């Protein structure tokens, strides 16, 4: 299996402006120089719990689709979708498709239904277990995802600044417990849901729990690492 260049991005997000946010996501994809770029929970709308649902064929995503086509990148982005669910969509040069629906919504997310179960996304032979925010703190989620067979555990999240250390420890624990790479893309800057500030500090952890790459707290930052198959770590 070839190495996988992965980036976690925490772009500037404008509340409810999918068109603008897609353009900003596209710029992040071009800047990341990675095969896979992971974005935070609800990154296309902001963490706006009343945001209109997004369809996979929404024309506002075209700039992001074009950027992925030009760079041979797959972007994992966040948005509310039909169900309704808080979802992760995979976007490449061929368009967008929903690949995961959040299994463990917060009580404040009562608008959204729980997703049907764990999911793995495959890219270039890599099996990526998918999660969204609170999923990562439910021990059975990583365990049930690992049962599907995964080389990495990938999540988009929105957290408060005071949760940074807890989230990092959680990532280390998952990496060590399952011997996989872990990547968390965490929202940076203000957003809805009473998040006047968010944590940022998106990161990538090696299977031994060590930090492979870490962003700061500011919006617009990107962290990147090359993932090697376990036999080569």
Residue-wise DSSP of 133-155: GGGGGSHHHHHHHHTT--SEEEE
The neighbour count for residue 156, using CB atoms within 10 Å, is: 32
pLDDT in tens, 49-91: 999 999 999 999 999 999 999 999 999 999 999 999 999 999 9
Structure tokens at 161: 């600044």
> What pLDDT, on the 0 to 100 scale, is given for residue 194?
83
Paired strand residues for 228: none
The neighbour count for residue 189, using CB atoms within 10 Å, is: 18
> pTM for the full model?
0.97
| Chain center to CA of 25 | 12
Q: How confident is the prediction for the chain on average, in pLDDT?
A: 97
Q: Write down how long the chain is.
A: 233
pLDDT band at 231 (very low <50, low <70, confident <90, very high): low
Q: In the chain, how many domains are there?
A: 1
The CATH number given to whatever domain includes residue 115 is 3.60.110.10
How many angstroms separate the CA atoms of 50 and 177, rounded? Answer: 36
pLDDT in tens, 151-197: 999 999 999 999 999 999 999 999 999 999 999 999 999 998 889 89
Residue 123 is inside which H or E element, if any?
strand 120-123
The whole domain housing 57 covers 4-232
**Nearest residue to 46 (alpha-carbon basis) of 15, 80, 21, 10:** 15
Q: By three-state DSSP, how is residue 200 classified?
A: coil
């Amino acid at each position: 299996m070839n190495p996988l260049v992965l980036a976690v991005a925490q772009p500037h997000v404008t509340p409810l402006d999918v068109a603008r946010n897609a353009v900003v996501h596209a710029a992040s994809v071009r800047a990341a120089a990675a095969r896979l770029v992971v974005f935070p929970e609800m990154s296309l709308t902001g963490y706006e719990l009343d945001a209109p649902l997004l369809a996979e064929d929404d024309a506002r995503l075209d700039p992001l689709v074009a950027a992925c086509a030009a760079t041979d990148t797959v972007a994992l982005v966040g948005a509310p979708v039909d169900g309704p669910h808080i979802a992760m969509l995979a976007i490449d040069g061929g368009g967008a498709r929903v690949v995961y629906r959040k299994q463990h919504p917060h009580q404040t997310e009562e608008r959204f239904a729980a997703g049907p179960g764990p999911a793995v996304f495959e890219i270039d032979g890599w099996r990526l277990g998918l999660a969204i925010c609170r999923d990562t703190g439910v021990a059975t989620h990583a365990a049930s995802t690992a049962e599907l067979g995964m080389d990495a555990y990938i999540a988009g999240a929105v957290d408060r600044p005071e949760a940074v250390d807890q989230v990092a420890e959680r990532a280390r624990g998952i990496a060590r417990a399952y011997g996989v790479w872990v990547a968390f893309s965490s929202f940076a800057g203000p957003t809805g849901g009473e998040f006047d500030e968010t944590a940022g500090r998106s990161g990538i952890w090696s299977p031994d729990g060590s930090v492979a790459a870490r962003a700061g707290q500011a919006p617009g930052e990107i962290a990147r690492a090359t993932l090697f198959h376990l036999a080569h770590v």
